[in-house]
Structure 1
Amino acid sequence: MTTSLCQLKEDMALLKRETAGQITQLKTEVDKLKKQLQVRQVAFSAALVDSKPTNIGPFPTDTTMIYKHVATNIGNAYNSNTGIFTAPVKGVYNFEWSVGAYGDGSHGSGAWLVKNSVNVFMAWEKQTAGFMSSSKAVALLLEVGDVVFVRLVANGSNVAYDDGSHHNTFSGHLLFPM
């Protein structure tokens, strides 16, 4: 009987070690899944300024718009110091941007959405008086590290105006990873 009791104790000790190992492995898997889920949670929305009325442009060259008033930046993929979104995961992303200013007959308001160094789509408007604005949206397949940003169109004829109403915005989110 003592042999059986000793054997049972050994079997229980073995089961405890195996169970402890399985628990550790499961915890590691859960942590890994949590990290993957966090990386897949990507969304941002920003405006040019917090509240102070600001005119920018016209500029002699295309100029990256830096959206300082960040309402949302889940995943921290948007950089409010550079105005650049960097894809943290390969996937399809949706981007929206709007550009606006007060029309004076001589300046329009236009901005390109740029992927890496390629102009994708432009939002543009020109009118003689009153506030003018234009907006666009696009879905883009991005690789890890691809950058997306908005550029005010050059040639000395495009301007943007923003204030606490946030007329000029840039937003994006991950639709699904690939």
Structure 2
Amino acid sequence: MKISVSFTLLLLLGSVPASESVECQRTSPPDIYAALREITASLVQLKANMALQTTGQAQLKTEVEKLNQQQRVRQVAFSAALLPQDQQPTIGPLPTDTTLIYTYVITNIGNAYNSKTGAFTAPMRGAYNFEWTFGAFGDNSHGSGGWLVKNSEYVFMAFEQQATGFMTTSKGATLLLEVGDVVFVRLMANTLAYADGSHHNTFSGFLLFPM
């Protein structure tokens, strides 16, 4: 009896079509490891993109700071005047050419002018414009004037002389300066400069453009 039943079951199973047999099988589970590999690859790419973005932002910040620094260096201008020395408004006459120290500073953008030495030091290579003025009371013996000096080179002189009254003179020059070149004004020997609150004796300069 058992043998007959078993044989009958075998016949029934053999009669089931192949398509129905496949449908009866369980669907295999998805490949979890492949999905994890895809997620990991995406995370790695995202991290790399973020690293590139951070690097790009850092480079951009560095470039902006560099441009700002260059812009600050290019902003150069000063203007200063003489003040009475030891309460004496008249400077001179002196036996030799003497560097004047303009201590009354109203503008010093870029801090290129030194009010302790009277010298302007070029912070960058470029074309600079300078102006200097002199004034004093005529005494029938001495004039008023001085030289613009670049390093040790006498460039231009401004000079005026008259017997009486107040005399003034001024001049300007454009110089090509290298980094570290110094420019200053020297009072000519045996001349006068009058310093008071009116500030007749001045020294000014500014950067025209870098080169």
TM-score category of the 2 structures, normalised to the smaller one: over 0.9
User: Which one of 46, 69, 74 corresponds to residue 12 of structure 1?
Assistant: 46
TM-score (norm 1): 0.95
Matched, 1:162 2:195: yes
Query: 1:84-95 residue pairs with structure 2 within 5 A?
Result: 84-95=119-130
More helix by share: 2
Deviation string 1:100-158 (CA, Å, 9 cap, x unpaired) is 1011111100110001111111110001111100000010000111110000001x2x0
Matched, 1:57 2:92: yes
Query: Can you give the 5+ residue segments of structure 1 that lack an aligned partner in the other structure?
Result: none
More relative contact order, 1 or 2 (CA 8 Å, 6+ apart): 1
Partner of 2:60: 26
Matched, 1:143 2:170: no
Answer whether contact 1:45 1:71 (CA < 8 A) is retained. Answer: yes
What one-letter code is carried by the residue in structure 2 that aligns with 1:122? M
Computed over aligned residues only, the root mean square deviation of the Cα atoms, in angstroms, reads: 1.4
C-alpha distance in structure 2 between counterparts of 1:99 and 1:53, whole Å = 16
- 1:53 Cα deviation (Å)? 6.4
Aligned residues: 176
- 1:9 Cα deviation (Å)? 1.2
Partner of 2:207: 174
C-alpha distance in structure 2 between counterparts of 1:90 and 1:22, whole Å = 31
- 1:40 Cα deviation (Å)? 0.9
Larger Rg: 2
Matched position secondary structure for 2:136:
strand
C-alpha distance in structure 1 between counterparts of 2:155 and 2:165, whole Å = 28
Partner of 2:22: none
User: Which one of 119, 125, 130 corresponds to residue 160 of structure 2?
Assistant: 125
Partner of 1:80: 115
C-alpha distance in structure 2 between counterparts of 1:23 and 1:6, whole Å = 26
Matched, 1:111 2:146: yes
More strand by share: 1
Partner of 2:73: 39
Q: Percent sequence identity over matched residues?
A: 62
